[in-house]
Copies of this chain bind each other. A is one copy, B any other.
Amino acid sequence: MPVEIPHDSVGLVSPRVEHFDTPLELACGRALEQYDLVIETYGELNAEASNAILICHALSGNHHVAGYHSLEDRKPGWWDSAVGPGKCIDTQRFFVVALNNLGGCHGSTGPKSLNPATGKPYGPDFPIITVTDWVNSQARLADRLGIQQWAAVVGGSLGGMQALQWSISYPERLRHCVVIAAAPKLSTQNIAFNEVARQAISKDPQFFQGHYYEQGVVPKTGLMLARMVGHITYLSEDGMREKFGRELRSGKINFDFHPQFEIESYLHYQGEQFSTVFDANTYLLMTKALDYFDPAAEFGNDLTAALSQVKCRFFVVSFTTDWRFSPERSREIVDALIDAGQPVTYSEIEAAHGHDAFLIPIPRYMEVFSAYMQRVAAEIGEEHAR
């Protein structure tokens, strides 16, 4: 519980649900006849509706980006370090919109929602969702909120991929695209790790081919293993060594199979926690959205061609020890943008935290991110002045 809410917090916030009943055609060929998106917003939309920022979430994220849901909340939203009054994404200047993506498990329509056609949870019958589908659903959300053009679409990791897709799918509808710790598509190794996670979940006897809701159980072990593998890829090798080393919990080797190195306990804890809050079918969907993301594919595998029609300016950020989506992968985006003659600012941040760095308020990262967003904010002022 925060004794008192920090002065630079957006404070107490409440999610709300936006219902949509125009069918959404999906890349897989199916359609969602109706769906809910749960959202949070912070700050005020200006009269011109020109100060709106969309924040897209990563694999396990959601709409609760900043602030607290109650005074009893132990932790604020997942990107509270970057979103709030006076922060990088300054809620005194911007109207910030965050949502839980379709297929999610935090309030938007997803596998654990009731399928209106059957009256039962969708479970494994929920359609496979792509990054493009998400962006289409977000465009409808923008329509609903009266936002014709985002000042910026911002995201880290899978969120950055959504921002990138926005620039391609709706070039007129964003002025800035902020792509943090992302990649233009998954590497073979990325896909391999995702498949291990999927196998861990789907081979868990409690998975019941995705129909575990009806059984009153969850594939806890599978989710735990998936999260443990994921977590290893989120941390850098150096960061792990610095944080956990080969330290033993009891100071000595036990000669048994209980967790004894600190890193083992940490991974158990992370896996356990995650398995109690996250939905297994959603995890499968999110990893598939990652695997399938490849905006260059429709352009003859030419990322430069894919980015040749974009209209926004780009801010791309990577972190030196990120081995999930390494700086090399961000530079592929930057190089394609340069080749396509598009304006791009690139920052490679020295950080020991691996992929997780995008969530951490590393001073240099916060400085460059703030500076970029201040430019975005200043433009809004200039537009006012015209």
Contacts and interface: CB of A to CB of B under 8 A. Distances in A.
Contact of A245 (B188, B202, B221): B188
Given A185-B246, A189-B237, A225-B203, A255 B128 contact: yes
A372 interface: no
A244 interface: yes
A193 B261 CA distance: 12
A28 B253 CA distance: 9
Given A196-B228, A224-B199, A257 B284 contact: yes
Interface residues of A, number: 52
A294 to B, nearest CB: 7
A376 interface: no
A292 interface: yes
A211 interface: no
Contacts of A202: 257
Contacts of A192: 228, 232, 240, 263-264, 267
A362 interface: no
Given A203-B221, A228-B199, A188 B240 contact: yes
A195 B288 contact: no
A196 B288 contact: no
Q: Quick one: which of A124, A187, A193, A235 has the most chain B CB within 10 A?
A: A187
A261 B225 contact: no
Contacts of A29: 255
Nearest to A128: B255
Nearest to A229: B196
A348 interface: no
B28 A255 contact: yes
A292 B245 CA distance: 13
Instruction: State the copy count for this chain.
Output: 2
Interface in A150-198: 185-189, 191-193, 195-196, 198
Given A188-B245, A241-B188, A200 B200 contact: yes
Contacts of A253: 292
Nearest to A199: B225
Given A128-B256, A257-B284, A291-B261, A246 B188 contact: yes
A28 B254 CA distance: 8
A381 B71 CA distance: 82
B256 A195 contact: no
Contacts of A15: none
Interface string A292-322: 1010000000000000000000000000000
Q: Quick one: which of A27, A188, A243 has the most chain B CB within 10 A?
A: A188
A341 interface: no
Interface of A: 27-29, 124, 127-128, 185-189, 191-193, 195-196, 198-200, 202-203, 205, 221, 224-225, 228-229, 232, 235, 237, 240-241, 243-246, 253, 255-257, 259, 261, 263-264, 267-268, 271, 284, 288, 291-292, 294
